[in-house]
Amino acid sequence: MPTELVSGLFAGQDLAARVEHAERTLIEEGARAAARRDPQQRVLVRPIGGGLAVWAGPGSPLDKVVGVGMNGAAFDDAELDAVEQAFAEREAPVQIEVSTLADPAVVERLTRRGYVLFGFENVLGLRLEPGRRARPAEGIEIRDVGHEFETWVNVVVDGFATPDTQGVASHEEFPREAIEQAERDLTATNGFVGSLAMIDGKPVGGASLRLSDGIAQLCGAATLPEFRRRGVQGALLSMRLAAAAAAGCDLAVVTTLPGSKSQQNVQKLGFQLLYPRAILVR
């Protein structure tokens, strides 16, 4: 019998390793897309401790180390030395995201080397059943991006530029250009699906979904400030979950800031907290 409970999800190490692997491949594919977009950029993709260190460009949201320490993966000082040197050459701080289900020795080693805890993010999950139906709010149309890609990018970036203030404040701020380039790079990943929300024919929000080995990653969603609290986020969530179930995914995951509006929205649809990630920076 799988470790996932019949009535919900048991966030054991096997499930966490599966989710962290999906996160690793998402960041890796985004970075490789950045390298194709700008061959002159010194994009970094380096394995470390069962995870991956990525630098995709100055100030990029993809610049971090993910997936380390899962399932007993080795994590030694020589690997970390090489990553720190590579980031120093690019004049970038090293940010490492560590699941609370990773080997505790990882965090111990990082703190001894001077890494500081900057914050947490929550990973939530939902079991998907075949035949799940979308239930968008009245008056909101959700459609695939298609030929409206540039509209989608602009709406998503504009929405991210004015974050919601509910919950714990983000420790990160990114230049608009860096967010836009990261969104474009992530659209090149395998299994990516973009959604655009419309009200009265006007684009008001956008979201993305990535399908990977049975996992539906809700990669991000944003609503223009003047259209918030009208059900746009819920509609985007509902449509993406139905699409993921139809594609055969058995698990949907999303990462949110603790106590945020995004966390509240997904929990209304049945998502449960699987585990936090600690964010350490040197």
What pLDDT is stored for residue 212 in this prediction? 94
Token code pair at residue 199: 């009200």
What pLDDT is stored for residue 2 in this prediction? 41
Give the model confidence (pLDDT) of 156-213 as tens digits.
999 987 766 666 666 667 788 888 999 999 988 999 999 999 999 999 999 999 999 9
Average pLDDT of the residues of the chain: 91
Q: Which tops the pLDDT comparison, 244 or 178?
A: 244
- Convert 60-87 into a string of H (helix), E (strand) and C (coil): CCCCEEECCCHHHCCCCHHHHHHHHHHH
Of the candidate ranges 123-127, 133-137, 162-166, 228-232, the one whose mean pLDDT is the lowest: 162-166
What pLDDT is stored for residue 22 in this prediction? 97
Q: What is the DSSP secondary-structure string of 200-229?
A: TTEEEEEEEEEEETTEEEEEEEEE-GGGTT
What pLDDT is stored for residue 270 in this prediction? 92
What pLDDT is stored for residue 171 in this prediction? 63
CA dihedral 172, 176, 182, 188 (to 10 degrees): 150
Of the candidate ranges 127-131, 170-174, 233-237, the one whose mean pLDDT is the lowest: 170-174
Whether 130 has a pLDDT exceeding 80, the answer reads yes
Of the candidate ranges 19-23, 169-173, 276-280, the one whose mean pLDDT is the lowest: 169-173
What pLDDT is stored for residue 28 in this prediction? 97
pLDDT confidence tier of residue 118, bands split at 50, 70 and 90 = very high
Q: Quick one: angle between helices 232-246 and 261-268, nearest 10?
A: 50
Residue % of the chain over a pLDDT of 90: 78
> What average pLDDT does the segment 213-220 reach?
94
Whether 239 has a pLDDT exceeding 50, the answer reads yes
Q: Quick one: angle between helices 176-186 and 13-37, nearest 10?
A: 110
What pLDDT is stored for residue 4 in this prediction? 44
CA dihedral 161, 273, 212, 43 (to 10 degrees): 50
Burial profile 49-87: b = 16 or more Cβ within 10 angstroms, e = fewer: bbbbbbbbbebbbbbbbbbbbbeebebeeebbeebbebb
Euclidean distance between CA atoms 136 and 100, whole angstroms: 34
Q: Are 2 and 18 in contact (CB under 8 A)?
A: no
What pLDDT is stored for residue 186 in this prediction? 93
* Distant-in-sequence, close-in-space partners of 199: CB < 8 Å, separation ≥ 6: 139, 140, 141, 227, 230, 232
> What average pLDDT does the segment 21-50 reach?
96
Side chain identity, residue 51: G
What pLDDT is stored for residue 5 in this prediction? 43
> What average pLDDT does the segment 238-258 reach?
96
What pLDDT is stored for residue 220 in this prediction? 84
User: Model pTM?
Assistant: 0.90
